[in-house]
Structure 1
Amino acid sequence: MPTIAPAWMPPDDPLSAPYTGYTRAHWVAAADRILDAARQRSTNGGALVDFSAAPGTADAGAGPPMDRLEGFARTFLLAALRISGDPAGTEGTAPLIAHYAEAVQHAIAQRIWPALTDHSQATVEAASIAIALHLTRDTVWAALDDATRDGVHAWFAQARGTWCADNNHVLLGATLAAFNHAGGFADGRDTVENALDRMDDWHRADGWYTDGDGRRFDHYNAFAFHWYPFFIDELMGAGFDDRRALHRERLAAFVDGYQLLFDARCAPVFQGRSLIYRWATAAPFWMARREGLDVLGPGMTRRLTSGILRHFVDSGSLDTGVLSLGWQRGPIPSMVQSYSGPGSPYWAAKGFLGLALPADDPVWSAAEAPLQIERTDVRRVLDGPRWLIEGRADDGIVRLHNFGSDGHPTRDDPLYRRLQFSSVTRPVPGGTVRDSDLTIDGAVHRPATRATVGARGGAVTRALDAGGRHVVSRVATKIVGAGVVHVARLTGCVGLPGRVSGAALVADDDRPVGIAPQGQGEVVDRGEVRDQGEAVARSAARDQGEAVAQSAGLVSAVRFLGAWAASPSAEPAALPLAPVGVVERIADGADVLLCPTVRLGPLPAEVVIVWQTALSRASIAALAISDVVVHDDHVALTVDGERCVFRWSLAEFLPADVEAQLIRRP
């Protein structure tokens, strides 16, 4: 725990919360800080909230209506969670009940909220309002007059029959239909059944869903697929008990694996879109508790969820009470999606689901229990997304080795198509530099066609569009000791330059790249070797085939270990590719990213390339390889005395996995 907490937070409780210091009072304080900022920015009788400008400025309240609806809906959801856990108002929720009842009544009477139409962002926000009203049925909803309730039902009914994206959005219209069904306004069973059946199509394994056709695995599993179905099931009643049982079964399996995507600081792995929702990643752990699933136990649930919140609070996310379009304190343009606006980050409200639990729930009184990574090393295969999760107790970092998450089928998104992600790094935005991967300069990486994952590594095959040239990349990866070895077979790349790279680090100061501070060991940049500030002579091959970036106590390295002819041979010929090690500097908003890279080329028509990557808090020695034997479907070699086989994947994805996302009518 940091020794200094924000002044607006209560004192830490080191007895019951030895890891985070957080109690229910800290969660209430964080929620109220956000809600106070929202109240200051509310307009139109409280029915809209404008986060695009500071209160009292000329632009205050002038943001686009959809952005202001988003600001209201998502903070109303947070208020509803506060109210739901304190309906009697003993924790100061009585003013919230009055404020939001007046806001809803004003919105309906004055027709302030926009119509729900095809592909409507308003439908997304209406679903949050529906859940908020469901959670506050005995308080806010009860305070509305009949005309307002009828108006709410009529507004929700506009979504029936509209078109939406064929992904998690099908659950939004279903949420509105379920709310109206529960209120006796209209029979919503057809809409709900259709949406939940479609969601079942996307389930792969162990509670993991792809977000629409393709291989779209990310944190949307946490704050969409294991969020809406449970409120839908509640609203639809006893006739959906079988659905709810299935959803609970999948949630339990999901939570058991998803917990491992958080490091010893409880920072989530930085992967996938909509990361600006931050601690919404805590939602499924609270949902499991709400559904009576004792997967982690109250002590670990408290430690993990409070740790997630504290990680972002300590990094400055709530310094002003307003969430930026970023990850920690400030905005990061490269991580923001086209659909994101000033009010978008407030889906972070979903991470406050624990406040809907009563104050006497054991999760608030049980002593915090350590995470698995705080007790032992972690190694887990997640079959659904085809990920291998690796965490080490000695450094507390979580590494995600990716063999199956592609993102949108038609977009080469840096938040998806990489060989590795972690809890302490973020991907390089689009451009000429590609982190944690093998690539051909300027190539677009197509969706994976084959992928396998196992206990020590995995393999993935994909096509690369290199300026109209069709290159096939088959990469097999294994964890060896404290590093990772990759063996790739490239076909169709004759004459093209390529590169291999490690994880990118955020520069922590203005020190020239490649200069190590005293006592922090070796950093290599552009062929130069420096050890505690002094140049050291080395062989040219070693110097040129290695690049190491160092920042904020982290070391990221990539080492080229050799290239061989791809044709099977008892003694394959080693190929000289003149590797050049560099540390690329990439501007990313206010930050500079340092990406260790080894440039290769020009490449032959077919080649096998071997390289090592490492991400750690200490320097890692280079691995030695020997006795390389190339076969059609695998490569065998000895790594530091251990014989290893790197086999290309033979597991083929379904044709639908490489088709573009569709649009459908619920």
Structure 2
Amino acid sequence: MTDHTASVRPAGAGASGPEARVWLTGYADRLLAAVEPYASPTGSLITLPGTPGGYGTAVDGLEGFARTFLLAGFRLAGEDGADPAGLAERYAAGLTAGADPAHPERWVRPDEHSQAKVEAASLALILDLTRPWIWDRLAPSAQEHLVDYLASVVGDEGYPDNNWVWFRIVVETFLRSVGGPFSADDVARDLAAHDRFIRPGGWFADGPERSFDHYTGWALHLYPAMWARMTGAAEVAQAAGDDLATRSASDREHLARYLDDALALVGADGSPLLQGRSLTYRFAAAAPFWAGAVSGVGRPGQLREAATRIVRHFADHDVPGDDGLLTLGWHQPWRPLAQRYSGTGSPYWASKGLLGLALPASHEVWTAAPEPLPVDVGDVLAVAAAPGWAISATRDDGIVRVINHGTDHALPGSDGGDSPLYARLGYSTAASPLLDPDAWLSPLDQSVVLLDVADRATHRAGFATVLVPVEHEVSGEQATGTAHPTGAVALGSVADTHWLQVDTTAPDHGSGRPGTATTAGQITTVSIVRGAWEVRLVRVADEFDARAEALRIGGWAAGPDVGSALVPLLGDIAPLSGSTVHDDATPLAGPSTTPWLRYAPVPEGWTAVGVHLGRAVGARHDPAPPAAPHLELAGDQALVTWPDGERTTATLP
């Protein structure tokens, strides 16, 4: 296998399709070559170095095989079976041994461990995609063993009610195409579950909770796009009482709308949003853009630019490292980023971010002229209604910010703990939420909390989203609206905040920690967003627990290259201001500094602060504070005058 990466550097923004494809091909080949020394003698298990994952070494080895098999399959398909590196032979040997129940290197089965259900989907997807070069050339006994291995999912009722339903759909579709067993009832139930996850604006929730994250793109949009092209998918859909053509048309329409938001969420430097679980999958965040190309949705040159820039972002930050291996982390190894289900092979779900290599060089995604990302063209300001996000990207620094009033990985009315990955008030492509153990127990960054005498902070999970109408003055004229107003957007939420005695023994799957809750008081928070600024208004209801000693508002946890500012804008009480420095609380390099304001006693009425995130200027660790917005209150009207003189009026709840 040729290692192109030694001589071909990542093409810059706006690179041609052929240049991008050459670089991505070399990057993929390096990843596949690097894992080869860690394969078992037959190649069925690829057990990478490091502390075993929470599910044990057997699952780690299966993941290492199945997830790199994704990438190998993309390479084979995109070259129409041309295989100078011998990938087909290498993975065929592993498939033969892994599915053989009597082989000492056999895989853990889906009916032995649930994680194998995930990996079975990767096996089935690539066996279908590479059918002429792998499946059709396997010995009949190997084919029989694979059918038996995959068939253990049929009728299994142990699939979680989330993106996992697609794993069974993909497996059973492949099984039917090779004469194996499948259940029309399974597929019908799983398609119905998928439909329940549909949300406005092209979004999916990853299950019944308010779980919005990268799984929307790299799972709930990706699998329908790939399934529609699997052999026999139309027949499987028909058997399940569905029509593939009608469903696929709806899926493409939904994907097209989602891509509008997904493109706006990519930073100018290619960084995805640091939000949600499974961030160690890194450039899997590129997958929905390739899904758009596969489905014929979106502008090919822009989709390629987004996907390539995401992969390049990690390459520019030395991913993979000198050993060529993907690790549990973000830019560098950082194991706290892992969830309980994450093992040494888990990061190779990043292979989805190289799906475009399955498309031939003649495909329009490779031949189209490059197009810029939204943040390259100008400032972006929008509201994604389903996740409850105000999206603001600024062209001058290339940063994307999300102000969050709709996502908490919980149900409305929940009294669990806040997940730092979901329930914070803000996420960005340039800053990470604090993820050290304390962050799960006591919210600090991007939070509004009540503090007791021991400085225990409240949680807000289970909050209710509220709409905040705004009017913005543009050149002396008014533009009015709540969804995509010109000039500024606003969102709000009302939380029955609670202190929590956390159950620290609960397994980590990305959700907030469970525990015993004690009601603290109701807090209403409103965010008026424009550019790099958020005007955050906060009101604590009159009746709150007497143990609440103070109100604390936290800003962005910013690294050395990013400046975070928190400025009082309103209130009769002069707050105590400070900042907290953490040396190793995020997966980004260097210490992070979180500014905060503390109001004691708890103020009556509205309190407001300006929250800013931008690239550091001046002294590296002491960025010059930008000019802040000005705020006035008149009854239920909040009047904001921005630094450039434009004005926004928001009606407060």
Q: TM-score range by the shorter chain?
A: 0.7 to 0.9
Other-structure match for 1:594: 593
| Offset, 1:434 | 1.4
**Aligned residues: percent identity?**
32
Cα distance 1:15–1:478, how it changes in 2: closer, same or farther (>3 A)? closer
Q: Is the 8 A contact 2:72 2:87 kept in 1?
A: yes
| Offset, 1:144 | 0.7
Other-structure match for 2:107: 113
Note if 1:99 corresponds to 2:149: no
Aligned equivalents of 1:51, 1:183: Cα separation in 2 = 32
Aligned residue for 1:594, secondary structure, equals: strand
Note if 1:80 corresponds to 2:98: no
Aligned equivalents of 1:266, 1:390: Cα separation in 2 = 16
Q: Is the 8 A contact 2:278 2:338 kept in 1?
A: yes
Other-structure match for 1:206: 201
Candidates 426, 430, 441, aligned match of 1:420: 426
Q: Is the 8 A contact 2:13 2:309 kept in 1?
A: no
Other-structure match for 1:515: none
Aligned equivalents of 2:114, 2:417: Cα separation in 1 = 22
Aligned equivalents of 1:386, 1:118: Cα separation in 2 = 39
Aligned equivalents of 2:628, 2:90: Cα separation in 1 = 63
Aligned residue for 2:565, secondary structure, equals: strand
Note if 1:459 corresponds to 2:484: no
Other-structure match for 1:567: none
Note if 1:322 corresponds to 2:325: yes
Note if 1:439 corresponds to 2:443: no
Note if 1:46 corresponds to 2:43: yes
Other-structure match for 1:10: 8
| Offset, 1:645 | 4.3
Aligned equivalents of 1:469, 1:44: Cα separation in 2 = 58
Instruction: Report the residue type matching 1:245 in the other structure.
Output: A
Note if 1:267 corresponds to 2:271: yes
Instruction: Report the residue type matching 1:499 in the other structure.
Output: R
Q: Is the 8 A contact 1:9 1:26 kept in 2?
A: no
| Offset, 1:313 | 0.4
Candidates 609, 612, 616, aligned match of 2:610: 612
| Offset, 1:416 | 0.8
Instruction: Report the residue type matching 2:266 in the other structure.
Output: F
Aligned residue for 1:395, secondary structure, equals: coil
TM-score, normalisation: structure 1: 0.81
| Offset, 1:603 | 1.1
Instruction: Report the residue type matching 1:10 in the other structure.
Output: V
Other-structure match for 2:509: none
Q: Is the 8 A contact 1:577 1:603 kept in 2?
A: no
Aligned equivalents of 2:524, 2:248: Cα separation in 1 = 41
Q: Is the 8 A contact 2:225 2:294 kept in 1?
A: no
Q: Is the 8 A contact 2:13 2:305 kept in 1?
A: no
Task: Give unpaired runs (5+ residues) of structure 2.
Answer: 239-243, 452-456, 468-481, 501-517, 618-623
Q: Is the 8 A contact 1:428 1:586 kept in 2?
A: no
Aligned residue for 1:360, secondary structure, equals: coil
Deviation string, structure 1 residues 108-144 (Cα, Å, up to 9, x no partner): 2345111212770111111111111111111111111
Other-structure match for 1:176: 171
Other-structure match for 2:374: 372
Other-structure match for 1:557: 565
Other-structure match for 1:338: 340
Aligned equivalents of 1:481, 1:135: Cα separation in 2 = 44
Cα distance 1:10–1:612, how it changes in 2: closer, same or farther (>3 A)? same
Note if 1:400 corresponds to 2:424: no
Q: Is the 8 A contact 1:50 1:63 kept in 2?
A: no
Q: Which structure 2 residues correspond to residues 274-293 of structure 1 after superposition, within 5 A? A: 274-293=278-297
TM-score, normalisation: structure 2: 0.82
Note if 1:360 corresponds to 2:370: no
Other-structure match for 2:576: 579
Q: Is the 8 A contact 2:292 2:303 kept in 1?
A: no
Other-structure match for 1:232: 227
Q: Is the 8 A contact 2:197 2:204 kept in 1?
A: yes
Residue-pair matches, total: 573
Instruction: Report the residue type matching 2:326 in the other structure.
Output: L
Q: Is the 8 A contact 1:108 1:151 kept in 2?
A: yes
Aligned equivalents of 2:577, 2:50: Cα separation in 1 = 48
Aligned equivalents of 1:40, 1:626: Cα separation in 2 = 61
Q: Is the 8 A contact 1:180 1:188 kept in 2?
A: no
Aligned equivalents of 2:121, 2:601: Cα separation in 1 = 53
Task: Give unpaired runs (5+ residues) of structure 1.
Answer: 507-550, 564-573, 650-666
Aligned equivalents of 1:488, 1:231: Cα separation in 2 = 45
Aligned equivalents of 1:638, 1:113: Cα separation in 2 = 61
